[in-house]
A and B are shown apart, each in its own frame.
Chain A
Amino acid sequence: MSIASTNKVTVPGDERLNKLNVNKNTPLWAKIPIIKELRVAVGWQKGMLITGLALTAFFLLVAIFAPLIAPYGHAQIKDANGVSFPAQAAPSAEHIWGTTAGGFDVFSRVVWGARTAVIAIIVAVLLSIFAGVLLGLVSGYFGGWVDRVLVMIADAVYSFPSLLLAILMAIMISHGQSGLVSGILASGISITVVYIPQYFRTIRAEVIRIKESAYVESARVVGASTWRIMTKHLFKNSTRTLPVILTLNSSEAILTLAGLGFLGFGIEPTAAAEWGYDLNRSVSDVTAGIWWTAVFPGLAIVLIVLGITLVGESLNDLADPRLRARKSAGEVVGSIEDTSVDPSEKPSVRNEVVAELDSTVDPPATVTDHDPSFTVSEWTGEGNTTGTAKGKE
C-alpha cells in the first residue's frame, strides 16, 4: 500500500470544506492574477509556477532587447568588413554557437527568433480570443440553430490536426511564401483560425452554465436588455478562466509556428529569424554530425514552451481545488468561529448561526457524473468547465 495515505481528501456529498470561505482581508495587490496564485501555491507547485514565470520573462526580455543582445542581424552573412561568415563553423569566439550552412550566425538567429515567436503569439492569441469570445458569447446565449451549426463546425475543426489546418491557412493567405510582416501575419492568422474553436467552446460552455444561474435569471425577470446581460453579467463572468487557456494556447501556438517553419511554410530566412525554419535547414547537418545548428534553436523552442506551459498548468491546478496541493495541517490559527462573515455584526437572538461554511459563489466541482464529455483536460484548461458537467443527467 504505497498510496499517499489511507485517508485521502474529500467527503462525498459534503463539499463544504472545499468551499470554506474565510474572511480575511487580503491586500488589493494580492488579488492581481498570478500574484494571487503565487501566494496560494505551496511546495513544488509553487516551484513550477516560479520556474515557468522566470522562463517566460526571460524570453520576453530577449525578444524585447534582441537588437542589443544579438551580435549580428538575423540575415547577416558578412561581418562589418564585408568578409563572409564561414559556413557550418563550429562554435568559436566569433560565433559562440557556430554558423549554419547558409553562413548565418546561430546565436543571433536564435535571439532574433524569440522576437518572431513572441510577436506571432501575441497576434495569434489576441485575434483568436477576440473572435472566439465574441462567437462563444453570442452562440451560447442565444442558442438555436446558429448555435448548433457553429458548434458542429467548431467541433469538426477542433478534431482536425491543427498543424494541417495551419498549413491550409498559410496556403490561403500567402500561398506559402512570405516576408516579415506578411509572414508573421500569415502565421499568426493561421494559428488564430486553429484556436478560435477552443475559445469558442470554452466560452460557450461557461455562458451556458452562467445563463442558468440565478443572477442572470433575476436580471431577465426585471427585464434587463440582452445587451446589459451580455456585458454586465456574462462577459466578465465567463472570461474568468481565459488566462489559463490563453497561456496553454500560446505554447501550442509556438509549436504550430515552428511546425509551419519546419515544413517550409513559415517566414523566409531573409525576412526574419524563425526557429522552425532553422531546424528544417539543420536536418541534413545532423546527419553529418553538425549538432549546433539544430540544438540551439530546438532548445529555445523547448524552453519557451516549457516556461509557458508550466505557468498555464500551475494556474489550472490552482484554479481547481481537486488538483491543488494544500498545506498540511498543524498549526491552529483560529477556530471555526473566525469564519463568520463579520465579527462586528452581533448575532441576533434568532439568527444564531454565524459560522457559515457554505458561502462561496461557484457551485463546487463535484464528480458525481462521469460523462465522457466531461474531461478534466488541463491542456486546454477545460477543467474549468466542470461546473457544466453537473446535473447533465
Chain B
Amino acid sequence: MSSTAAPAAAKDAAKPKQAKKNRLSGGFFRFILTRFLLIIPTVFILVTIVFFVMRATGDPISAAMGGRLTPEELQRRIHAAGYDRPLIVQYADYLGDLLHGDLGTTLTDNQPVITILTRYGAATFELAFLALIVALIVGIGLGRLAARKRDRAADAGIRTFAILCYATPVFFLGLVLKLIFAIWLNILPASGRSSLDSEMQFTRLVSPTGFYIIDALQLGNTTVLIDVLRHAVLPALALGLLTAGVFIRLVRTNVISTFNSGYVEAARSRGVSEKRLLNKHAWKPALIPIITVMGMQIALMLAGAVLTETTFEWKGLGFMLSQYLKARDFVAVQGIVILIAIIVAVVNFIVDVIAALIDPRVRY
C-alpha cells in the first residue's frame, strides 16, 4: 500500500536544481548543501503536523487508559505527564526532547520509544532491502522490456501485470502467497523471521546486528541462513511486487519518452543501432527521473512494510506500529511515525544527490 505516485513535477519551488544552471564548479556542492538544508524544514513540517494531529482531540493517556482507570487516577497521571499544559508548551517541550533524541516513553509497556526503534528497526530495513531487490529486478527488467516491445502483446501483458501488482493490496497478496506456498504446498514458512532453533542460535552471538542474514553469516551456519532466507521469501515478494508494479510503469513511461526524443532520433539518423539507442542514448537520460521517483517509492515502501509485517508477523517497526495502534498507545505511534518521516526525508535527499550525479546539468 502506498500512495504510489510520484514525481516531482511540482517540486519546482522547493528545488534549487531548477534554478538557473551555473557553470561554476562549486555549483554541485552548493546544490548538495541547499538540498541537505531542505531536509530540516521538511522534517520540521512533518513533526509539527504529526504532533498537532495526534494531540488535537485529546491526550494519549486518556486514549490508552480511558476505560481502565478512575477519572481521578486518569487526571493525576495526565497531570504528572504534563499533558494538561497548553499545547504549544508541550510542543516546544517535544521539539526540545526530539533534539536530544528523546521520543518519549510508551504507555503500554513503559519503554523509551528510541529502544523500540533500535530493536525493531533492523528487521524492517532487512525486509525493505530484500523487497527493493525484488522490485528493482522485476521493475527495471520488465519495464525496459515493455518499452522495447511497446504496443505489442508483451507490452500489454507486462502492463496488465504491473496494474495487477498495484491493484492488489499488499496484505491480500501476502495472504494469497501464504495460502498457496505455506498452507497448500507447504514449502515455505507462513510467518515470522526465523524458526525457534535459529533464534536460539542467534543468542550465542556477541554482537548481533539484528539483520538476520548478516547474523547468520556471522554464525557461519548454513542451516540458519537457509532458514532465515526461507522466511524472508514471501514477505519480500509481497512487498517487492507491490513496488515493482510502480517501477515497471515508471521505467516504461520514461524510457518511451526519451526513446521518442529528438536526441535519440538524431542518433538514429546517424546510424546508431536500435539496441544501443535503447541501452545508452535513451536509458541514461531516462534514469534521472526514474531514480528521483524511485527514491520516493522507497520511502513509501515503509508504509507497505507496516501492512506486510502485520500479515507475516515479521517483528519489525511496522508490526510494532500496528500493535501499538491496536493498544491505542499514541506516544509509541508518534515516535515511530516521526522516525519514518526522518527516514523519508533522508532517503529523498540521497536519491536526489544520486540523480544529480547522473545529470551533468546539475553537476557542472
Contact = CB atoms under 8 A, between A and B. Distances in A.
Q: Direct contact between A and B in the complex (CB less than 8 angstroms)?
A: yes
Interface of A: 1-4, 6, 8-13, 43-44, 48, 147-148, 151-164, 167-169, 171-173, 175-176, 194-195, 198, 201-202, 204-205, 251-252, 255-256, 258-259, 262-265, 276, 279-280, 282-283, 286-287, 289, 291, 294-295, 298, 301-303, 305-306, 309-310, 313, 322-323, 325, 366-368, 370-380, 382-383, 385, 388-389, 392-393
A375 B6 contact: yes
B8 interface: yes
A279 B273 CA distance: 51
B1 interface: yes
Q: Chain B interface residue count: which class?
A: 35 or more
A289 B181 CA distance: 11
B29 interface: no
Interface secondary structure of B, over-half rule: helix
A152 B260 contact: no
A257 B13 CA distance: 31
A372 B45 contact: no
B260 A10 contact: yes
A330 B194 CA distance: 62
Contacts of B344: 159-161
Given A309-B163, A309-B166, A392-B18, A298 B175 contact: yes
A10 B265 contact: yes
27 contacts: A3-B275, A3-B277, A10-B260, A10-B262, A11-B265, A12-B262, A44-B156, A147-B13, A151-B10, A151-B14, A173-B57, A262-B169, A264-B322, A280-B171, A282-B175, A286-B175, A286-B178, A294-B172, A294-B175, A302-B167, A303-B167, A306-B167, A309-B166, A323-B256, A370-B289, A375-B250, A378-B249
A287 B311 CA distance: 11
A367 B260 contact: yes
A159 B190 contact: no
Contacts of B167: 251, 301-303, 305-306, 309
- Which residue, A3, A204, A294, has most C-beta atoms of chain B within 10 A? A3
A379 B165 CA distance: 13
A280 B307 CA distance: 10
Contacts of A373: 7-12, 15, 17-18, 289, 292
Contacts of B293: 375, 377
Interface of B: 1-15, 17-18, 21, 41-42, 45-46, 49-50, 53-54, 56-58, 63, 148-152, 156, 159, 163-164, 166-169, 171-172, 175-176, 178-179, 183-184, 190-191, 246, 249-250, 253-254, 256-263, 265-266, 268, 273-275, 277-278, 285-286, 288-293, 296, 299-300, 302-303, 306-307, 310-311, 322, 325-326, 328, 330, 333, 337, 340-341, 344-345, 348, 352, 355-356, 359
Contacts of B260: 8-10, 322, 367
A325 B300 CA distance: 31
B359 A372 contact: yes
A148 B348 CA distance: 19
B259 A205 contact: no
B16 to A, nearest CB: 11
A171 B53 CA distance: 8
B53 A172 contact: yes
A286 B8 contact: no
Given A10-B260, A156-B42, A162 B303 contact: yes
A287 B190 contact: yes
A148 B8 CA distance: 15
B60 to A, nearest CB: 10
Nearest to B156: A44
Given A10-B260, A168-B337, A376-B7, 20 more contacts: A3-B277, A6-B274, A10-B262, A12-B261, A12-B263, A152-B42, A163-B306, A163-B307, A175-B57, A279-B171, A289-B183, A294-B179, A298-B169, A306-B163, A309-B167, A322-B256, A372-B355, A375-B7, A375-B9, A380-B5
